[in-house]
Amino acid sequence: MPDSLVSPLHNYHTSQNAKFIDFAGWSMPFSYEGTIKEHNYVREDKGFFDVSHMGRLEIQYNDIAILQTLICSDIENLQVGKALYTIFTNNNGCAIDDVIFWKFQDKILLICNAANTLKIKDHLITYSISFNDVTNSTALIAIQGPNAIQIMKGLVDIPDSFSCLQNDQYTYARTGYTGEDGLEIMVSLDYVDELLDYLKSNNISPCGLGSRDTLRLEASLPLYGFELSDEITPVEAGLKWTITNKQPYLGSEVITEQLKNGPNKILKKFEIDTRAIARTGTKVSAGESGGVVTSGNFSPRLQKSIGFVMFENQPSTDLIVFDIRGKLVEGKILKKRFLN
Amino acid sequence: MSEIKYLETHEWYSLTENKITIGISDYAQGELGDIVFVTLPEVGQEFSKGESMVEVEATKTVAEAYAPMDCVIVEINDRLESEPEVINTDPCGDGWMVKAEVVNLDDSGMLYQEYETFIS
């Protein structure tokens, strides 16, 4: 097996006694002090994540019209200076990847899932979109939490929510994957130590991918490979709100049909009033409908087990029975978000 | 209580006359990360050596603790139901999981030094 890729912050992680996991070919910190502790830093105060494993591609602004034919959201009419969460779809309307764009005057920065970087690059090449892959020449750091912005004010101008800015050192947006306010900052390798020193001197604790996963789950956010895949459409994944592209795009006829008549399979949120975790792959039933848990974990905030389940069809009841390693456990479908 | 001994599957046990106290090692809790839920057996349940006795749910994964020898459960650590995190903070003390009566003695576990070499 080839050696794992490591982040520009790898030595720092090692110095902080991080526990590493292999993720999409990268060796990244899973935790430092413990997943729940790090989860709470972000929910209650502030924390930072190294997400340098995520793909970062600078797309020429001129290619925006082609880009518009590959995603389910309207990027052409998006204001310059805004960020956009959207989905690259295939011919069947299913997700090639879910991504973030930061739209600047001169370029569009595409941030994709690490596991999909090569796939997205191939896809862009197929459709003759020019890009510059800056994944290995930069780091990407997410500073998140209710007190994150207050601290970051000392370093950069703060953009509005879901907006992006750039200066000589940093390209950044007020976005994240935790359900909390904060910034995601892309920085060239020349300035990464400076940014790290700022975070350290302001006592912002490093948080690993373990807590990033429990935070995103609590925030009801999907993860590609689990809630989304190349066999799941944005409609099926409960991401109708991303479908704002009025022009034809790959698989748009399938998506339009699903919007009109409803999808077959459907993603639902669930909670279980105990700490028994229904993990990925757990089989469930709700009345006549069967399904499979896509993600499930313990919610540190709610102190109970939560997750997503993909049902084969719309269930007629909110009561779910989980088969957790042979034991039947009851839970229920949740219509609202996990956290208010 | 006798000296704590360890198994290759990362349980510890300590033997007093015909009773054993069982838990998981400090190394095991560290590898699992935050423990959020524990499924304990019932008093009176019998286990053969190597059989799964306890299920430990951590945010990262689920793991099992196996019977170090043939035994019958005589006491479970009820505290773990509301405070499973005690296994993280004190795995070989307050984080004990079950006490059991030995049916077939098999005191072949490793002493700490040997276990330390095993995990390193």
Kind of pairing, strands A47-50 and A205-207? parallel
DSSP A115: G
d(CA A309, CA A268): 5
Domain span at residue B50? Answer: 5-103
Nearest Cβ partner for A36 among B34, B57, B62: B34
d(CA A33, CA A233): 37
B40, part of any domain: yes
Closest residue on chain B to A296 (Cα): B59
pTM of the model: 0.91
Per-residue b or e along B93-117, where b marks 16 or more CB atoms closer than 10 Å to that residue's CB = eebbbbbbebbeeeeebbeeeebee
CATH number at residue B25: 2.40.50.100
Domain formed by A264-334, architecture: Beta Barrel (2.40)
Q: Where are the domains of chain A?
A: 264-334
Band of pLDDT at residue A181, cut at 50, 70 and 90: very high
B68, part of any domain: yes
Instruction: Look at chain B and report how many structural domains it folds into.
Output: 1
d(CA A242, CA A83): 13
Cα atoms in the Cβ-side hemisphere of radius 13 Å centred on A16: 23
Quick one: CA dihedral A27, A32, A36, A39, positive or negative? negative
Tell me the C-alpha to C-alpha distance, in Å, between residue A8 and each of A175, B16, B68, B82: 22, 52, 45, 41
The predicted structure's pLDDT at residue A2:
61
Radius of gyration of chain B (CA): 13
B61, part of any domain: yes
Of A60, A52, A51, A54, the residue nearest A132 (C-alpha): A60
DSSP assignment of A11-51 equals HHHHHTTPEEEEETTEEEEEESS-HHHHHHHHHHS-EEEE-
Of A23, A249, A9, A182, the residue nearest A117 (C-alpha): A23
Of B18, B17, B20, the residue nearest B4 (C-alpha): B20
Band of pLDDT at residue A340, cut at 50, 70 and 90: confident
Is the ipTM beyond the 0.85 threshold? no
**Residue of B26, B32, B36, B42 to mutate for A, most A C-beta atoms under 10 A:** B36
Closest residue on chain B to A275 (Cα): B37
Radius of gyration of chain A (CA): 20
The predicted structure's pLDDT at residue A274:
85
d(CA A120, CA A102): 16
Question: If 0-12 CB within 10 Å is exposed, 13-18 middle and 19+ buried, where does residue A110 land?
Answer: buried
| H or E segment and range at residue A240 | none
Within 8 A of B88 by CB-CB distance, chain A residues are 34
Of A59, A137, A135, the residue nearest A102 (C-alpha): A59
Band of pLDDT at residue A204, cut at 50, 70 and 90: very high
- pLDDT of A305 > 70? The answer is yes
B69, part of any domain: yes
Give me the mean pLDDT over the A184-211 stretch: 97
Give me the mean pLDDT over the A279-307 stretch: 96
Asked if the Cβ–Cβ distance from B37 to A297 is below 8 Å, we say no
Within 8 A of A277 by CB-CB distance, chain B residues are 36-37, 57, 62
B117, part of any domain: no
Question: If 0-12 CB within 10 Å is exposed, 13-18 middle and 19+ buried, where does residue A157 land?
Answer: exposed
Please give the torsion angle defined by the CA atoms of residues A89, A90, A91 and A92, in that order, rounded to the nearest 10 degrees: -80
Band of pLDDT at residue B1, cut at 50, 70 and 90: low
